[in-house]
Amino acid sequence: MNSILGIEAALRLMERVVTLMNSMADLATSSSSSRSYATGEVVFGDQGIGTVYGMLQCTLDLTGPQCKSCLGDITRKIVKLFSNISDQAQIGGRIIGVRCNLRFEKKLFFEETNDTIKIDMPNNGLSTVLKIIIFGVPLLVLLVIGLLLRPYIAKKVRESLLQRDLVILKKEVVSKSDSRFLLFSYLKIRSATDNFSQENKIGEGDFGHVYKGRLPHDQDIAVKRLSLNSVQGFREFMNEIKLIASLQHKNLVRLLGCCIKSKERILVYEYMPNGSLEEFIFGPGAKRSWPMECRHIIEGIAEGLLYIHDYAHECIVHKDMKPSNILLDHEMNPKISDFGIARICLSNVTESNTTTAIGTMGYIAPEYCFQNVYSTRSDVFSFGIIVLEIISGKRAVGSYQLSGRSYLLRKYAWQLWREQRCDEFVDHSLGEEYLEVDVMRYIHVALLCVQDSAEDRPSMRDVTTMLSNGNRRLLLPAQPGSYHMNIVTDAEKDL
């Protein structure tokens, strides 16, 4: 390495030494320092000089300003006295004044402390430009290439995730279910629904829209298309498929298959021409028959819940039983649907915990709403509320007046039942085609189902027995407690 310094290099060197000395003078004369001296080092990034070490000090009788003035005087002499250095080996010097002095050398001549000032001097302009060219240009090229390839990479990632999802689906669902469960192509579903046209849209829920479709062999289907930003992610999508793909019962909506493409998540069900129980109860101009429809629907819902609780391959808790999740076929048979948040209840566990209660207010059991604990008896509570809605034509979360007081539906029903005024509770649209003793028994069973404590509620096995055996003696239901919930009016519910 050439150790000869040119005139300009020597001047730049001394200017940097002056910079170091000025920084050390500031430290030595600061109000927090009482030593009147400082040490420091400056690292040079060019010319192979390396590090230059410096030290300065004043006599202890000088004040801070006096010391700084003295050091300033001798520091200004550095360039004049030492700018004629022509060899790196000669770098170094001392200026000794009467009241202050300074020294700089290439060799370390003092003991470094935490107070030693360290300065990194930049390379000269030419070296900086070269570094920008050498390192910056390739990075810029890589950035441009990355931006150009980003759509392609994102597509490949989506395709990879899609293939992973399909593998999971085939392994965990299709291979374990019967041959009637199908993987539909996206083109087939799009064609069946006329490209998801508004004319074919028959409903919407928390997780997306439902469309009516028709397959090539004239089979009507219901297509549940999850919205792209749906809170129901792949886990809930797979959960619904795994839970009901292998279930076969006359009171459960049959899942025909599914479709996965890119971000699309689609479930294909058998089509229910008579819509939902929600529409049946609360639809405009609804006129209902007790023996042919209402009683038949209540008993069918009970049979469906009994099946998933006791007879399915694993005990299943639906967790979101409500009229909009019960569909009606062409013969008005009720079929339970929407198992997106349903959970398996282990055989040796009667209750399970969840971090957050998910469901619909008014149908959620108290222990699930306030303690995040659910069991099969949580579904029993929801069933009881649905029965009260079917009989009364009133919503669970409405506010109803009786003797100058306001009640929620279950307490309103209990008060009228206790006073044997059930005829006031029955919806007038049922007409005169029902036996009061029959309806009163169904209200009685519903009130047992909506007891505050899960332990006080019957199982669905007991419920089906009580509904079918009019001679069985029933326990008296306790008065429902009062717990706070937001009251939603019919107008608000339709928003």
Helix-, strand-, coil-residue percentages of the chain, each rounded to 5 = 45, 20, 40
CA dist 212 → 203, 272, 300, 377 (Å): 9, 9, 24, 34
Catalytic residue among 115, 218, 320, 490: 320
Cα 249 to chain centroid distance, Å, stands at: 33
CB 450 within 8 A of CB 479: no
CB 266 within 8 A of CB 189: yes
The reply to whether 224 sits in an annotated binding site is yes
- Name the CA radius of gyration of the chain, rounded: 41
Tell me the angle at which helices 376-392 and 409-418 cross, rounded to the nearest 10 degrees. Answer: 70
Q: Exposed, middle or buried: residue 437 (CB in 10 Å: 0-12, 13-18, 19+)?
A: exposed
DSSP run (H or E) holding 263: none
- Tokens 């509620």 locate to 457
How far apart (Å, rounded) are the C-alpha atoms in residues 389 and 396?
7
Q: Exposed, middle or buried: residue 160 (CB in 10 Å: 0-12, 13-18, 19+)?
A: exposed
Token pair in block for residue 473: 């003696």
CB 43 within 8 A of CB 121: yes
320 catalytic per annotation? yes
- The DSSP code sequence of 223-260 is EEEE-TT-SS-HHHHHHHHHHHTT---TTB--EEEEEE
* Active site positions, annotated: 320
List residues forming the annotated binding site for ATP.
224
